[in-house]
């Protein structure tokens, strides 16, 4: 699997933004579970080792297949600012139908902070306005990650998505009932 990382550039003549591929990220596994997504980002961008916060978007098509990756922000050891404009631009330019937001906590603490929650709420509103499904947010810290529903150690056995009781992971948002990434009743792994 190859997933491209993009940056947004502005055309000199038209002054319109466009996506420019800066990196091909090769991966031998499907990204069909949270753990696999976190493993990919740790391997490719060293998010579990980074000394500063980074925020990325993984854009997905209607079948939850990766379209591209965009670095939204590079912050300090304890904070990273996400601008709604850049999030919206990447989602539109990449043709995303769905997306996952990922960021790291250099401290290793994977609990979402109040600032994290405020940023997530702003980005959810942008996504809703654009008609793009905000699938999930993942916080990576050292050897753990948190998706707001559960926290998992990365050295545990790989999750078998067919063995999960879906009712344990239902995430009830105000606008609809939602199953997390990888838990689709109509698809097999």
Cβ neighbours, 10 Å, residue 10: 10
Give the pLDDT confidence score for residue 53 in this predicted structure.
94
pLDDT digits (tens, 9 = 90+) for 50-97: 999 999 999 999 999 999 999 999 988 888 888 889 999 999 999 999
Model pLDDT, residue 106: 94
| Residue 172 clears pLDDT 50, i.e. is over it | no
* Closest listed residue to residue 106, CA positions, set 150, 74, 134, 135: 74
* Size of the chain, expressed as the number of residues it contains: 189
174 vs 23, higher pLDDT? 23
**C-alpha–C-alpha distance, residues 160 and 157, integer Å:** 9
């Amino acid at each position: 699997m190859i997933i491209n990382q993009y940056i947004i550039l502005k055309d000199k003549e038209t002054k319109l933004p466009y996506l420019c591929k800066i990196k091909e990220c090769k991966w031998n596994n499907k990204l069909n579970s949270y753990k696999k997504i976190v493993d990919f980002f740790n391997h490719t961008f060293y998010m579990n080792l980074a000394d500063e916060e980074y925020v990325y978007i993984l854009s997905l098509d209607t079948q939850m297949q990766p379209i591209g990756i965009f670095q939204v922000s590079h912050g300090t050891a304890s904070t990273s600012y996400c601008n709604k404009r850049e999030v919206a631009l990447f989602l539109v330019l990449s043709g995303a139908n769905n997306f996952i937001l990922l960021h790291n906590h250099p401290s290793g603490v994977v609990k979402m902070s109040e600032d994290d929650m405020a940023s997530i709420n702003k980005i959810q509103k942008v996504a809703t306005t654009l008609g793009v499904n905000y699938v999930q947010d993942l916080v990576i810290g050292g050897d753990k990650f948190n998706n707001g529903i559960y926290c998992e150690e990365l050295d545990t056995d790989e999750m078998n998505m067919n063995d999960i009781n879906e009712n344990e992971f239902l995430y009830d948002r105000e606008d609809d009932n939602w199953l997390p990434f990888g838990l689709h009743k109509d698809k097999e792994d």
